[in-house]
Homo-oligomer: A and B are copies of this chain.
Amino acid sequence: MRDVAVVGTGMTKFGELWGQSIRDIFVEAAQQAIADSGVDYIDSLYVGSMSPGLFVNQEHLGAVMADYLGVNPIPATRVESACASGGVAFRQAFLEVASGASDIVLAGGVEKMTDGADVTDVLAAAADQEYEVYHGITFPGLYAMIAKAHMHQYGTTREQLAAVAVKNHRNGVKNPNAQFRSEVSLAQVMSSTMVADPLRLLDCSPVSDGAAAVIVASLDVARKLNKNFVKVVASAQASDTIALHGRESITTFKAVVEASKKAYKIANLRPADINLVEVHDCFTIAEIVVSEDLGFFEKGKGGEAAKQGLTAIEGGRIPINTSGGLKAKGHPVGATGIAQIIELYEQLTSQAGPRQVKNVRRGMAQNMGGSGASCVIHILEAQ
């Protein structure tokens, strides 16, 4: 396999983008990424998107986007793995370049969630339709069960959950593309509207429109572009049971554990070698569980770590979600995995402005589908 790099990025602001269609926002992000990288062609493109069919009645998104980006007749493929669709798009681009089949591939992600569909209903299609959704469960409900179990088993507190939201909102203020650029206090999170006990409104990532794109190229091409690039030192993916009831434990995400083990092995690294990480904080409890499953904190200590500031940009041991995370940056489902890569790219090339973490060499992106039935992890390294 050939070495692969990320050579350019582009993204829309995340939020309620009512003036633009799904194709508009994807093309905006893709054009930015192409311009930023300085490439004068792309060999193919991947679009990660969870449910454009249910959201805006448009499938066949690869072809739509290749057309409106003006890059016909190149191959264009949509990939889907629920909320991990963006991460999976990046992985397919990585594999295509690593194989030698292509030199320069665009990996993008997009979701248009605010155009009128019943969002909770559409998102439920990422859970087990026959054994979970049919009986009325929603995603906040699934993660609430995980939170309850984690609190019961490890003593995680309501305040520790809130600390995740407070920290991610603080980071989001510094991200010009974030949906929410306002701080929230512990008290505000803990008194916000109850959604699914113990999760409150400010524990939940929002409903968002948005698109993100990166240019993936062989290391040879990257070197010739004469600009900043980062190397992809690991790509790993894993799966778990689609429904929570099929798991031995719901206080750990097995797919996250398996994918991270594989990623560390491929890159020959340990958790201590990673300087910052973007994790899939669709709910505050998810960030806590994942921070443990990736090996950054002992099992059951993720909540405490968040509360103690160990995951903050300033003074943190391992800054988590410097971008603001899904919580504050927004979570246009298919775009999220690509936006994580973009945050790592900006940090590792020292372009993160007020969010910049000092002395960073390696970053990890952890993108997850459903209640953790799929997980894709990438490790990027500054050059």
Q: Could you tell me which A residues sit within 8 Å of B by CB distance?
A: 1, 21, 23, 44, 50-51, 53-54, 56-64, 66-68, 71-82, 88, 91-92, 95-96, 98-101, 122, 124-130, 133, 237-243, 246, 254-255, 258-259, 369-370, 373-374, 376
Q: Would A73 and B238 be within 8 Å (CB), given that A54-B53, A99-B98 are in contact?
A: yes
Contact B129 A56 (CB under 8 A): yes
Main secondary structure of the interface of A (DSSP, over half): mixed
Contact B129 A63 (CB under 8 A): no
The docked-state distance in angstroms from the alpha carbon of A129 to that of B373 is: 31
Considering only CB atoms, which chain B residue lies closest to A75 in the complex? Answer: B237
The docked-state distance in angstroms from the alpha carbon of A53 to that of B95 is: 27
Contact B77 A92 (CB under 8 A): yes
Contact A51 B59 (CB under 8 A): yes
Which one of B51, B60, B246, B258 contacts A67 once the chains associate, using CB atoms below 8 Å? B246
Considering only CB atoms, which chain B residue lies closest to A50 in the complex? Answer: B59
Which one of B54, B72, B238 contacts A239 once the chains associate, using CB atoms below 8 Å? B72
The docked-state distance in angstroms from the alpha carbon of A62 to that of B44 is: 22
Which one of B60, B129, B241 contacts A57 once the chains associate, using CB atoms below 8 Å? B129
Contact A374 B63 (CB under 8 A): yes
Which one of B78, B125, B246 contacts A80 once the chains associate, using CB atoms below 8 Å? B78
25 residue pairs A–B, Cβ–Cβ below 8 Å: A21-B130, A44-B237, A50-B59, A60-B80, A60-B81, A62-B80, A62-B239, A62-B374, A63-B81, A63-B240, A63-B369, A64-B373, A67-B239, A72-B255, A73-B254, A75-B237, A75-B238, A75-B239, A76-B374, A77-B79, A77-B91, A92-B92, A95-B101, A98-B99, A98-B100
Question: Inside 8 A of A238's CB, which chain B residues have their CB?
Answer: 72-75
Contact B100 A57 (CB under 8 A): no
